[in-house]
Amino acid sequence: MTNPFPQDFLWGVATAGHQVEGNNVNSDTWFLEHLPGTIFAEPSGDAVDHYHRYREDIALIAGLGFTSYRFSLEWARIEPAEGHFSVAALDHYRHVLEACVELGLTPVVTFHHFTSPLWLLRSGGWEDSRTPELFARYCDRVMAHLGDLIGVACTLNEPNLPYLLRELGIPGGSQESRIGNPMWEAAGQRLGLSADRVASFQFAASEESFNVRLAAHRAGRDAIKARRPELQVGWTLANSDIQAVDGGQEHADRVRREVNERFLEASRGDDFVGVQTYGRTVFGPDGLAPAPAGAATNQMGEEIYPQALEATIREAARIAEIPVIVTENGLATEDDAQRVAYLEAAVDGVASCLADGIDVRGYIAWTAFDNYEWIFGYGPKFGLIAVDLATQQRTPKPSAYWLGRQAQAQLVPTA
Ligand code: BGC
């Protein structure tokens, strides 16, 4: 079979600051993790101490054969108090970028991956009309300090996720669902806000928040482009393959419109859109349909369905009409052979999109290391590299070697 992958295709693994760095103490998420009644299974603590171990981590990733590393900057470290920028934190990220460049990895940099500074939450967070300009100011400072080393820029990570979580019944999405919820009430009390006004990026799914997200993305993109017009800029979306079984069509159409399509339409005019897919969400006559009988499931109990990636790349390319980078795709499992099979099927899906002429520019797996999976804590294992949390010892799994070899060979299995 002819290799459909272009030579400059990005083969990578991804992380996000809060999930790997450790001690992100000025962030809103750290604050939520430590509240009475928190919905987080455990606090993030030291995470995998990537803040200090980034150099050996990046060397490990490069040594496995990858050509790209996607990571995020922590706004809470860079601007720990409103208007006060930390040159030390910016220097830190400059060293991270230098390590990528020295080791031959294209750095794909996310400016905002779920976490914000706590002060932003206090000032109205992701439902406040001032947030886009504050985000743009932060992007400008980052670009002034680091812009020359960034390979690809992602503004916001998964601005559409809360709208999917709301459909799945996770508390905090709608303003009403925060009222009476112990964690949101405790947050409101400490911040001097009513619980319904506590708008963290990961959970707030109101219409106000949609407008704030869109404006922040655009203002951030313009700030980045003002410093480096040729830098490729986009946002990255949570693209579930939304399907219906008999009786669920209307529901599926509504959710697909709300969660996928309007965000893809809003991406038109960007340089690329990041597609992040884990599986499918199926609706039936009674709402969410259960996984088909006998289907293999991941550690969260969801059906393992790697075919979703191909479908969502096609959906994204059709609606957004711009190039696609797969910025996340992966599986939570203790069984790494299952992960290899999943990655293989997903990469086959990418190859088939490329063969049909769809402009896909990279495949970046989630995630480099077993890490802090947000409200689920350290239980789910998405990593291609295992980490012993007691010793911080890293051990690549067979899936890391498998995908690294794909990167080197730029070939996909024909089976
Ligand atoms: C996020 C990651 C997360 C992953 C697995 C995506 O929603 O961007 O931060 O760990 O999915 O759930």
Is 147 in contact with 73 (CB distance < 8 Å)? no
Name the residue with the closest Cα to ligand 1, atom 3. Answer: 373
Average pLDDT over residues 361-383: 98
Domain contains 51:
yes
Q: Does any ligand 1 atom lie closer than 6 A to the CB of residue 74?
A: no
Atom index in ligand 1 nearest the CA of residue 276 equals 6
Domain contains 414:
no
From 74, 79, 158, 344, active-site residue: 158
Average pLDDT over residues 97-103: 99
Residue 1 binned pLDDT confidence (cut-offs 50, 70, 90): low
Q: With 70 as the cut, is the pLDDT of residue 51 above it?
A: yes
Domain contains 415:
no
Domain contains 344:
yes
| 1 Cα: distance to centroid of ligand 1 (angstroms) | 33
Domain contains 349:
yes
Nearest CA among 47, 17, 63, 64 for reference residue 392: 47
Domain contains 1:
no
In 2-80, beta strands by DSSP E: 10-14, 68-72
pLDDT in tens, 287-332: 999 999 999 999 999 999 999 999 999 999 999 999 999 999 999 9
Q: With 50 as the cut, is the pLDDT of residue 117 above it?
A: yes
Atom index in ligand 1 nearest the CA of residue 366 equals 4
The total number of structural domains in the chain stands at 1
Q: Which of 201, 374, 381 to mutate to test the pocket of ligand 1 (most atoms within 8 A of CB)?
A: 374
CA distances from 138 to 135, 350, 369 (A): 5, 34, 28
Q: Does any ligand 1 atom lie closer than 6 A to the CB of residue 270?
A: no
Is 66 in contact with 12 (CB distance < 8 Å)? yes
| 2 Cα: distance to centroid of ligand 1 (angstroms) | 33
CATH number of the domain within which 389 lies? 3.20.20.80
Identify the bridge partners of residue 12 per DSSP, sorted by sequence position: 68, 364
Name the residue with the closest Cα to ligand 1, atom 7. Answer: 238
- What pLDDT does residue 336 have? 98
Strands 280-284 and 324-329: unpaired
Q: Does any ligand 1 atom lie closer than 6 A to the CB of residue 315?
A: no
Q: With 50 as the cut, is the pLDDT of residue 414 above it?
A: no
Query: What is the residue range of 72's domain?
Result: 10-409
Domain contains 251:
yes
Judge residue 236's burial from the number of C-beta atoms within 10 Å of its C-beta, 0-12 exposed, 13-18 middle, 19 or more buried.
buried
Is 306 in contact with 352 (CB distance < 8 Å)? no
Tokens of 30: 């750290």
Mean pLDDT of the chain: 96
Q: With 90 as the cut, is the pLDDT of residue 246 above it?
A: yes
Query: Does 74 participate in catalysis according to the annotation?
Result: no
- What pLDDT does residue 177 have? 87
| 84 Cα: distance to centroid of ligand 1 (angstroms) | 29
Nearest CA among 406, 389, 393, 388 for reference residue 345: 406
Among 163-177, 178-192, 378-392, whose mean pLDDT is lowest? 163-177
- What pLDDT does residue 415 have? 44
Domain contains 287:
yes
Report pTM: 0.97
b/e per residue 60-80 (b: at least 16 CB within 10 A): bbbebbbbbbbbbbbbbbbbb
- For 111, the enclosing helix (H) or strand (E) is strand 106-112
| 290 Cα: distance to centroid of ligand 1 (angstroms) | 22
Atom index in ligand 1 nearest the CA of residue 238 equals 7
Average pLDDT over residues 55-74: 98
Q: With 50 as the cut, is the pLDDT of residue 395 above it?
A: yes
Q: What is the sign, positive or negative, of the torsion defined by CA atoms of 275, 279, 284, 287?
A: negative
- What pLDDT does residue 235 have? 99
Cα gap 244→20, rounded to integer Å: 36
Cα gap 415→412, rounded to integer Å: 9
Is 29 in contact with 44 (CB distance < 8 Å)? yes
- What pLDDT does residue 167 have? 85
